């Protein structure tokens, strides 16, 4: 049986001259996991599922106005990047991820909807932070949504985590000029990658709300806190 990944490899070279979005890509975005990231494409426009629309509304309220640039540190299929780029004042929007099939979907969608001010790259945080001048300058707004546990501990897609709150937030500070929006699991028992947590040993004890906020406070000021689903949604300002 042909996999979604194989289909994507076949259609990756297609341009937006195609009349229809490849079915493999359409299925990939509509069946996105988790389901609250799913969306559809109609007439070259992106339409979020009701759960994604609700999440986006809560996150978008925290954007500075006007929005002029955005970086998504774990972009998945790229919805937040494309939505930002669609705002008239947004000059550039970048999504990074370490999962190549998702990035291929983003590139196909970029061509299909002609989103000229978006970029998608297979990059880790430190690679971007150490070479931010390659993308012009720091981004006004940076999103880190539901992926901090993987930055810290690693995952099945990227086995090596940073295991250091200060190192992570220092790097994010270098690439964020104003607004940092953070919504993640902040207690170790809530993390999904428990194999990586066990591998971290005693360091895992340092993964908790207090330690995360302490490290954040060296680089960012916490402006407000609400909830995004079960987990905190923090609006932060770069110091």
CATH (domain of 213) = 3.40.50.150
The distance between the two most distant Cα atoms of the chain, rounded to a whole number of Å, is 55
- Please tell me the predicted confidence (pLDDT) of residue 194: 95
Give the pTM: 0.90
- Please tell me the predicted confidence (pLDDT) of residue 5: 43
- Please tell me the predicted confidence (pLDDT) of residue 13: 39
> Any idea what DSSP says for residue 127?
H
> Any idea what DSSP says for residue 89?
T
| Residue range(s) defining the domain that contains residue 128 | 62-238
What gap in Å lies between CA 134 and CA 143, rounded to an integer? 19
In a domain, 95, yes or no: yes
Query: Token pair for residue 143?
Result: 């999103």
In a domain, 226, yes or no: yes
Residues of the chain with pLDDT under 70: 1-19, 32-35
- Please tell me the predicted confidence (pLDDT) of residue 2: 39
In a domain, 45, yes or no: no
In a domain, 13, yes or no: no
What gap in Å lies between CA 144 and CA 123, rounded to an integer? 14
For residue 227, the number of C-alpha atoms closer than 13 Å in the C-beta half-sphere is 3
In a domain, 56, yes or no: no
- Please tell me the predicted confidence (pLDDT) of residue 123: 96
What is the tally of structural domains in the chain?
A: 1
């Amino acid at each position: 049986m042909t996999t979604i990944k194989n289909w994507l490899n076949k259609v990756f070279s297609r341009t937006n001259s195609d009349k229809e979005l490849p079915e493999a890509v359409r299925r990939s975005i509509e069946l996105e996991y988790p389901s609250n990231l799913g969306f559809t494409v109609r007439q070259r426009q992106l339409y979020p599922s009701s759960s994604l629309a609700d999440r986006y509304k809560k996150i978008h309220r925290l954007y500075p106005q006007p929005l002029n640039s955005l970086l998504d540190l774990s972009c998945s299929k790229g919805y937040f990047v494309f939505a930002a780029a669609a705002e008239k004042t947004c000059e550039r929007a970048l999504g990074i991820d370490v999962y190549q099939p998702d990035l291929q979907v983003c590139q196909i969608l970029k061509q299909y909807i002609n989103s000229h001010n978006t970029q998608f790259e297979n990059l880790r945080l430190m690679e971007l932070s150490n070479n931010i001048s390659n993308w012009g300058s720091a981004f006004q707004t940076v999103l880190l949504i539901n992926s901090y546990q993987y930055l810290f501990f690693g995952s099945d897609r990227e086995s090596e985590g940073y295991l250091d709150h200060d190192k992570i937030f220092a790097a994010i500070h270098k690439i964020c000029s104003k607004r940092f929006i953070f919504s993640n699991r902040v207690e170790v028992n809530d993390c999904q990658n428990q194999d990586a947590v066990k591998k971290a040993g005693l360091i895992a004890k340092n993964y908790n709300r207090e330690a995360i906020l302490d490290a954040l406070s060296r680089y960012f000021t916490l402006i407000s806190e609400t909830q995004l689903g079960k987990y905190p949604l923090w609006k932060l300002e770069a110091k």
